[in-house]
Amino acid sequence: MAVLLETSKGDLVVDLFTDECPITARNFLKLCKIKYYNNCLFHNVQQNFIAQTGDPTGTGRGGDSVYGVMYGPQARFFEDEIRPYLRHKKKGMLGMASGGENLNASQFYVTTGTDLDSLDDKHTVFGEVTEGLDVLAAIDAAFVDAAGRPLQNVRIRHTIVLDDPFDDPPQLAEHIPDASPAPVYEQGDRLEDDWVPNDDGRSLDEIEEEARKREAGARAVVLEMIGDLPEADAKPPSDMLFVCKLNPVTTEEDLEIIFSRFGAVTSCDIIRDYKTGDSLHYAFIGFDSERACEDAYFKMNNCLIDDRRIKVDFSQSVHHLWKQFRRFGRAGGAAEAAAAADAAGDKGGGKGGKGTPNGAPRLELKPGAGGVYAGPSGRGGGGNGVLRSFSMAVSA
């Protein structure tokens, strides 16, 4: 003779005193069977005293017994079954919340305190909680207003009859629903205790993905505030490649010649130290189409250039480097420092010497008309290869 009450705080299992209080127990079991208690509020919670529910109107003034449901308003109430040996001695006792003598209907309470002598001999005690006392404690701890109603709605969500020794009256069948009522989430001035934001039926993966996007957006805003990003929604273009592990002797012209076989190269920039002008061993190469960018990625990753096996990736996967490049230019450092290095180059070498230390003109080895330099691994910058023809030129 047990019933499982699924509440928005958790589950309660109650055992009923069917031998001592058969009329009250039958009323409670049959109301559970017709899902009468589904979505009922705990409308009166008094800490260390009682948690009252069972009124479909949520006001504390409504509710019918199962006899009133079947036979009409004249049978709304039924008589008390007060037993002198059933007392409110401990937490978890179930009692009928009657409006007076022999005025029992559907409302009931669960004690959350001990030795509640003021309730003895006035209300029918017809059961007790056998499992879920921690859930009862959570209901008892709910914040309430001056009238005792929880500020966040706590409800009975579902009732399951585990054992029923009483036969169903013939009139009860027409009141048993085909399915349990849908959960009610009140749109008034109070949130439901088990309410979940954006509970729109999406899958867990979709909810997690949206949470990650929100978190990423929040982090981007913080990075923008501290100056690590030019703007929170900055994104690298999809036609830009990131190339790293370059040989220090590799120049932009070399990379442009090599990568132009896949399509028109719109930009080719090796990132350099703004003080020394030395290569930082990585570069960004832009193409005129995404297809050319993809072809270059698949063909050039792990290739040898100047005796260095380079790594190629799309700039999206290392977007922080791309954004640094887009924000600070080739200098790779602070914009002010880059401007200072350029100014120093202008003073030392006129139009030449841009980005070089102490204003010294930058000397570059450029291929002459005779051909290319072939190292031991193909085109390389070291080893015992043969240097055919190079011209020495001062950067202009």
Task: Note whether 149 and 33 are same-domain residues.
Answer: yes
- Looking up tokens 């509440």 gives 7
Same domain, 109 and 203: no
pLDDT at 326: 60
Verify that 308 and 347 share a domain, yes or no: yes
Give the pLDDT score at 236: 67
- Structure confidence at residue 386 (pLDDT): 36
Which tokens hold the place of 367? 């291929």
Written as six digits, the tokens of 106 are: 């559907």
pTM: 0.52
Report the CATH number at residue 341: 3.30.70.330
Cβ(272)–Cβ(316) below 8 Å: no
User: Who wins on pLDDT, 132 or 377?
Assistant: 132
| Interval 39-48: pLDDT, tens | 999 999 999 9
User: Would you state the pLDDT for residue 226?
Assistant: 73
Q: How does pLDDT run across 79-109, given as a tens digit for each residue?
A: 999 999 999 999 999 999 998 999 999 999 9
Report if residue 254 sits inside a domain: yes
Q: Do residues 207 and 285 both lie within one domain?
A: no
305, 332: one domain: yes
How far apart CA 386 and CA 396 sit, in angstroms, is 28
Q: What is the mean pLDDT of residues 157-170?
A: 93
**Three-class SS of residue 159?**
strand
Most confident of 158-167, 200-209, 224-233: 158-167
- Res. 235: pLDDT tops 80: no
Q: Provide φ and ψ at 153, rounded to 5°.
A: -60, 130
Give strand ranges (E) for 49-107: 50-53, 93-96
Are 35 and 150 found together in one domain? yes
Q: Which domain holds residue 219?
A: 197-234
Query: Mean pLDDT throughout 9-34?
Result: 95
What pairs with residue 282 in β-bridges? 244
- Looking at the fold, whether 165 and 248 belong to one and the same domain comes out as no
Please indicate, yes or no, whether residues 72 and 203 belong to a single structural domain of this protein: no
Write out the E strands in 27-66. 40-41, 44-46, 50-53
The pLDDT-based confidence of 189 (bands split at 50, 70, 90) is confident
From residue 265, how far is each of 286, 288, 293, 351, 396 by CA, in Å? 6, 6, 9, 25, 22
What pLDDT shows up at residue 371?
37
Q: Crossing angle for the helix pair 252-259 and 290-300, nearest 10 degrees?
A: 100
Does one domain contain both 155 and 46?
yes
Residue 184 in any domain: the answer is no
Domain count, the chain: 3
User: What is the DSSP secondary-structure string of 221-273?
Assistant: HHHHHHTSSSSTT----TTEEEEES--TT--HHHHHHHHGGGS-EEEEEEEE-
187 part of a folded domain: no
* 20 and 122 fall within a common domain: yes
Do residue 293 and residue 223 come from a single domain?
A: no
Of the pLDDT bands very low, low, confident and very high (cuts 50, 70, 90), residue 139 is very high
Spatial separation of the C-alpha atoms in residues 270 and 46, rounded to whole Å: 72
